[in-house]
Structure 1
């Protein structure tokens, strides 16, 4: 790099939602930003579909919304929220002892706050389109990170369609070499950035899989029958639908076209049994997920099971997240988690906000014209603070995501769980002097009712994202702790109580939507 230039070159590895938002933050601060992505342009329909490794739909919570809001790109957030569907609770499906189907709604929050179902590909496209409009941003698709020197600030990439994709010293001279001032790795659970980062520091690293696979299905939309826009939905569009099965579960998330993206979670041994004879699938669903075969035709059910991949669920923890002043990893590269709190992407987007809030604190606008050594020292301190600050939160939500699987597939139908939920809400509403907060009341959900301004297509009163307000404060962690011993809920209050921190990771409870 030309050290005489005051403009910093930031290289971002990974063009998914987290990498794209990180690039947006960097570009907004005047950096020259280069984004390198292993795959083809993710906006191209011919690119490997994201749902080969990721669910089509995911939950966008206030954590992710706020991260986009803080980017300063108001129009971007408004466009995303116009295509988002508010989900105000779970809808539990089952059958009585007489075989009669039932639905039972469980609101997330007594105040009606919601999380939002969004299409992953659409969100990614909007972020990339916004980046493409910025003159200091460049895209480099089909580039595989094969080497990095974080001391001399150089990275090497292979370009798809050329030489062998197997890296070795022998082909180094055939690769392109890229200089950078700062590198951000947002390249997912199997991060190449993290792999190379491990060579430069003593990184603690833990990877585990749970004995559960997942497969995706679709509930097709209905034909519109009247003026009600919701008539295209076969089931309620404002809920996360769950068919709990104790050992397994089936869920459905709404899409704006009236369809539902559905996911089956099941121990691998059951997948093996059904793979031997997929024709047993409809009977299996009738027994464990009553009502599904009335929403998905049996032939479609079998076709989805045989055609769509059966994918594992990985959990990754590591520390630290940075080396010196030159590199940091974000999102799944730093803390991949199982999807049962729906916080994987939201946590990654919040990584970006937290990182740049710390960088801004250490690097004032005038410091960018400081000497190279001074700038390096300040950024090194900022990255050290980021790792120390973010790691406990990330590890906590990782653990909580694992614990929430039990609640979603089994506890939601337990009488004890239902009583606990009723008691929590009663204490919160009628005995506020106790300082008790429900599990969902301060998890960053958005209050989308009664904000004025009409209604958008998703049915969220208030419409545009500029009207979204959130009830949460820096004191939230301490407030929640006041009631921590009332009903034995220390499992999800653990981090919220730790030092009374305002980040309040310990009371996230967003359900699945982020495989």
Structure 2
């Protein structure tokens, strides 16, 4: 008799988990609290109020590893490439745009609408004979020892109390988000450490329409950032020539804007080129008042499982702020890693889930911390000369001394499948080299760099610094060669 896997949550991570289970021959049932997002009558607010997704290598690899032909390509066909950041600032009183590429070797992030990704995954699930989808169903209880769950079917609204029924399962996968019901019930069976933090930032979404002739209003192949330290405005491109934009601002900042009503004036002061070039004054104010000002939550917990009967993935296990663009990618990667262990220990699911928790917890905690820290880079550092110089040095070493295993932290997080915890360790080792050996190199060539600057300008100064760094880096290759070694 085939074993039954119940997946709670039909978002992108839950849908992918169901696809992995179904592809392995399990009988799969998916239970979702909300209505089917593909139903035209579904209220869009329930699903589409989400910061645009930035799909990267981890997410793409997880889609490919389902083994389902065409799935990854179907998803990728709905994406839009972003080659780097476009920084919008005032310099010497003038509005300027400064591009900063993501990867020295030309790799790109892929902007994607969350609803489109979710729809594609649900369509694939619906075609599988061993999958059943149940929308408008609330998980109200779980006994992980007896492997029994209780659900309510809510026919009219998610607030309504419905008829309760009992379902048995062999494995329950909780992919029901930051406020996970599965995690809540799992806590009754395991001594789970749990940490939750609402950071001092809220976000509000905006829509940038196409130009009257149907084109993009700003260059499309970038993540556009207006950095202002305590606040930030971003814009991500969509296939329909629109941009999905987001204002990040402190709670006190939103409170002051709400009280004063001076939204347009604030944007004109802080975010040059937005009003009226991207959004008219009336549209900006209307969207600001109509769209919710939503919190950003960061969650860490451990363990992620109970024996061989229950496990949580995605935001249920490690909700994170969006500033590294890895929340959804990490969730999709959770699914791949989980099923790698289930495949490795086919006769011992308790062992598989235990290994999953041991391996995934430090990685999830690491990317959670990196996401919190990356706000400073996006909102402040991107406009600072010292940050730009360091980024330039790292990229040149990445390009010209590949044998040393050198790579930027961002490229490892975004364009590889290296474990997040190993990425952080490698970045820390590189930082020591840069701060130590390269620091000495910069001091030693300071005089010559000044000469280069006087003789040939800043580009010649950069080249002088680079030649010295390369010389020392080549002679410390025995240190750097361990940066990419498997551990």
Q: Which of the five TM-score ranges fits, normalised by the shorter chain?
A: 0.7 to 0.9
> Which residue, out of 178, 202, 211, partners 2:191?
202
Other-structure match for 1:357? 340
C-alpha offsets along residues 348-398 of structure 1, whole Å, 9 cap, x if unaligned? Answer: 0000000000100000xxxxxxxxxxx4xx000100000001000000000
Distance between the aligned counterparts of 2:157 and 2:47, measured in 1?
A: 25
Any idea what SS the aligned residue of 2:253 has? helix
Other-structure match for 1:396? 366
Other-structure match for 2:130? 136
Cα distance, 1:436–1:129 mapped onto 2, change above 3 Å: same
Distance between the aligned counterparts of 1:163 and 1:110, measured in 2?
A: 50
> Which residue, out of 237, 240, 257, partners 2:240?
257
CA RMSD of aligned residues (A): 2.6
Other-structure match for 1:186? 175
Structure 1 position 415, deviation (Å): 1.2
Distance between the aligned counterparts of 1:246 and 1:49, measured in 2?
A: 32
Other-structure match for 1:343? 326
C-alpha offsets along residues 87-131 of structure 1, whole Å, 9 cap, x if unaligned? Answer: 111000012233x21100000111111110011101100000000
> Which residue, out of 86, 94, 114, partners 1:120?
114
Any idea what SS the aligned residue of 2:411 has? coil
Distance between the aligned counterparts of 2:71 and 2:157, measured in 1?
A: 38
Structure 2: gaps of 5 or more residues: 437-479
Other-structure match for 2:476? none
Q: Residue 9 of structure 2 contacts residue 176 of structure 2 at CA under 8 Å; is this kept in 1?
A: yes
> Which residue, out of 219, 237, 240, partners 2:223?
240
Distance between the aligned counterparts of 2:334 and 2:104, measured in 1?
A: 29
> Which residue, out of 222, 237, 245, partners 2:211?
222
C-alpha offsets along residues 145-197 of structure 1, whole Å, 9 cap, x if unaligned? Answer: 00111111111111113799588xxx9xx511111111000000000000000
Q: Residue 201 of structure 2 contacts residue 295 of structure 2 at CA under 8 Å; is this kept in 1?
A: yes
Other-structure match for 2:433? 486
C-alpha offsets along residues 193-242 of structure 1, whole Å, 9 cap, x if unaligned? Answer: 00000000100000001011000001111244xxxxxx711111110000
Other-structure match for 2:68? 73
C-alpha offsets along residues 295-337 of structure 1, whole Å, 9 cap, x if unaligned? Answer: 1101110011000000000000000000011000000000000
Any idea what SS the aligned residue of 1:71 has? coil
Q: Residue 136 of structure 2 contacts residue 158 of structure 2 at CA under 8 Å; is this kept in 1?
A: no
Structure 1: gaps of 5 or more residues: 225-230, 364-374, 446-469, 490-496, 505-515
Q: Residue 434 of structure 1 contacts residue 483 of structure 1 at CA under 8 Å; is this kept in 2?
A: no
Distance between the aligned counterparts of 2:157 and 2:385, measured in 1?
A: 61
Other-structure match for 1:42? 37
Cα distance, 1:107–1:381 mapped onto 2, change above 3 Å: same
Other-structure match for 2:91? 96
Matched, 1:277 2:260: yes
Distance between the aligned counterparts of 1:190 and 1:501, measured in 2?
A: 37
Other-structure match for 1:458? none
Distance between the aligned counterparts of 1:267 and 1:101, measured in 2?
A: 24
Q: Residue 56 of structure 1 contacts residue 121 of structure 1 at CA under 8 Å; is this kept in 2?
A: no
Distance between the aligned counterparts of 1:205 and 1:412, measured in 2?
A: 33
Distance between the aligned counterparts of 1:288 and 1:503, measured in 2?
A: 45
Using the size of structure 2 for normalisation, the TM-score is 0.85
| Structure of higher RCO (CA pairs closer than 8 Å, 6+ residues apart) | 1
Distance between the aligned counterparts of 2:307 and 2:49, measured in 1?
A: 32
Distance between the aligned counterparts of 1:348 and 1:472, measured in 2?
A: 15
What are the residue-to-residue correspondences of 1:422-461 with 2, within 5 Å?
A: 422-445=392-415
Any idea what SS the aligned residue of 2:432 has? coil
| Larger CA deviation: 45-54 vs 109-118 | 45-54
Structure 1 position 263, deviation (Å): 0.2
Other-structure match for 1:228? none
Using the size of structure 1 for normalisation, the TM-score is 0.81
